[in-house]
Amino acid sequence: MAIDLEHLPEDPQVLQKMVLDLTAQLDRESAERHKVETILRELLEARRNRKSEQLSEDQLALFAAVWEARQKAESKPDEEPNDQDNDPQPESDSSPKKKQKNGGGRQPLSPHLKRERIVHDLKDAEKHCAVCAQDLRPIGEESSERYEYIPAQVIVVEDVCKKYACECTVKTATKPPQPMEKSTAGASLLAQVIVAKTADHVPLNRQEKIFERHGVEISRKTMGGWMGQSDLMKPLYRAAKEVLFLSKVVGTDDTGVKVLDDKLAYAPTGRIWPYRGDDAHPVVIFDYTRTRERIGPEKFLEGYRGYLQVDAYGGYDAFFNKPERGLIEVGCWSHARRYYYKALESDVGRMGPALWFIAELYKVEDRAAAMTAADRLCLRQIESKPILDQLHGYLQKIQAEVLPKSPEGRAVRYTLNNWVALTRYCEDGGLSIDNNATERDIRGVAVGRNNWMFFGSDRGGEIAAILRSFTASCQRVGVEPFAWFKDVLSRIATHPINRIAELLPHNWKPALA
């Protein structure tokens, strides 16, 4: 409503409506300004500071004291404090425990490396004593070890196939099958290019310069064409997906990568989705989609039934709202904790106790890590469940005390809206309190993104997803990626398709074995 200060209406109801409209407008502008200031502060902190949400024992003890003080203030005067309650209490020794330091001195060098023994001896003239005129006799030796680096080398292998003939026939010896017939790249060179790009994050233009130092001219376009021949790995990729779908719980997340498109004046953002199987099915599968729309994960997860551990991205809601899909949501306390950490600066009095409760939950998980699933479930029911109940009650109390659109309001709302999913890990000892393992799988993409910057096309994103799947799966089970790619690329063309799963990293046995 436009306001003319010279001709204000005389009707009190009209004036009242004008005041209400102005108040609502000011509230909206204030909320929007606060939101912008919060985003700017977070961006500046992310640029200047280390991205860590870890709190010291002293901070947690202070947050516990704040919560206890709040409890005393809310208790009635005639109520006697109950010393036998189930409130989680900070440890008696809140000071951080000093970690045992490893023994000092140089650590032994890797025992699996090839050893070369070089003996250093005295000259013959030095083996005679000038004082007593006697020859020196050997009494032992001193030894020390050091690392030496032998640069990689590129060699040319010439396959010569002998030919034999008689009056009626001609026979020619056959060479071993190659990953790409009529190509100048052998399995070991392909493995080097793939691992350097997907594990070491070296873009193809830098690899081109590295090969130049070895006296070999291999253009980045040629290497890109080699990596584009990923159809050879698709049967293995599908076998890995079948193993993934056998998992009780699958964790997933997503991250963005710029994608070049000749039809657009800008580079749109594609999405990379990692899907991590449980410990009994240790595969990590990456999928590429052009957008972040729900159709991407919906298509990939078609046919999977079980737990899905995710953040609160709204695109997943349609999965969990349809019982026929057979997907059960498991929340991530690491995501929830992040909201409280961001709001800590603006409201320590309310956010601090919430962070202390979450820290108590993680202390239980530290003790439960080495347990069996059954024992872990029992421990969570005994110790984690009471902490969760108290945290839920605390959040319900402070929800009315914080502004809904403030950082602290968003933190409380996120937790309460996703409470069922966040507490589901207490129903099964095989579930995790957070989705951090899947986030660590994304880290490789994030580090690489800072080096190779973008995907050249949607096809490039799909290729990267397939190859990164095997690199991440190798890293998860402790298999050296180069050795795996070199062996599998040399065998996969002739390997029986009904036994293709034998080549997956967690099942792999080298041909020489």
- Per the CB < 8 A criterion, the answer to whether 442 and 287 are in contact is no
For residues 293 and 295, what is the distance between their CA atoms, to the nearest angstrom? 5
pTM: 0.79
Within-domain flag for 368: yes
Q: Which residues contact 152 (CB under 8 A, 6 or more apart)?
A: 192, 214
DSSP assigned state of 381: I
Within-domain flag for 362: yes
For residues 407 and 358, what is the distance between their CA atoms, to the nearest angstrom? 17
Q: What is the CA radius of gyration of the chain?
A: 32
- Per the CB < 8 A criterion, the answer to whether 453 and 422 are in contact is no
For residues 382 and 376, what is the distance between their CA atoms, to the nearest angstrom? 10
For residues 479 and 61, what is the distance between their CA atoms, to the nearest angstrom? 42
For residues 138 and 140, what is the distance between their CA atoms, to the nearest angstrom? 6
Within-domain flag for 361: yes
Q: Which domain holds residue 429?
A: 334-433
For residues 436 and 273, what is the distance between their CA atoms, to the nearest angstrom? 14
Q: Can you tell me whether residue 250 is helix, strand or coil?
A: strand
Within-domain flag for 22: no
- Per the CB < 8 A criterion, the answer to whether 335 and 328 are in contact is no
Within-domain flag for 372: yes
123, 125, 131, 137: CA torsion to nearest 10: 50
For residues 441 and 450, what is the distance between their CA atoms, to the nearest angstrom? 16
Within-domain flag for 417: yes
Within-domain flag for 220: no
For residues 347 and 407, what is the distance between their CA atoms, to the nearest angstrom? 9
Write the secondary structure of 263-285 as one string of H (helix), E (strand) and C (coil): CCCCCCEEEEEEEECCCCCCCEE
Counting the structural domains of the chain, the total is 1
For residues 59 and 343, what is the distance between their CA atoms, to the nearest angstrom? 15
> What per-residue confidence (pLDDT) applies to 382?
95
Q: Residue 51 to residues 44, 250, 312, 411, 441: CA-CA distances in angstroms?
A: 12, 26, 21, 19, 17
For residues 467 and 485, what is the distance between their CA atoms, to the nearest angstrom? 10
For residues 418 and 425, what is the distance between their CA atoms, to the nearest angstrom? 13
Which amino acid, one-letter code, is at 124?
Answer: D
Write the secondary structure of 478-494 as one string of H (helix), E (strand) and C (coil): CCCHHHHHHHHHHHCCC
Q: Identify the H or E element spanning 123.
A: none
488, 220, 451, 260: CA torsion to nearest 10: -100
For residues 460 and 468, what is the distance between their CA atoms, to the nearest angstrom? 12
In 3D space, the residue among 406, 364, 352 whose CA is nearest the CA of residue 388 turns out to be 364
In order along its 513 residues, the chain shows pLDDT tens digits of 556 666 777 778 877 888 888 888 887 777 777 677 767 766 666 666 555 677 777 777 777 777 777 777 777 555 454 544 445 544 434 444 445 555 556 788 888 888 999 999 999 888 888 888 888 999 999 988 888 888 888 889 998 999 999 989 999 998 888 888 888 899 999 999 999 999 999 999 999 999 999 889 999 999 999 988 878 899 999 999 999 999 999 999 999 999 998 888 889 999 999 999 999 999 999 999 999 998 999 999 999 999 999 987 888 888 888 888 889 999 999 999 999 988 888 888 889 999 999 999 999 999 999 999 999 999 999 999 999 999 999 999 999 888 888 889 999 999 999 999 999 999 999 999 999 999 999 998 989 898 988 999 999 999 999 999 999 999 999 999 999 999 999 998 888 999 999 999 999 987 655
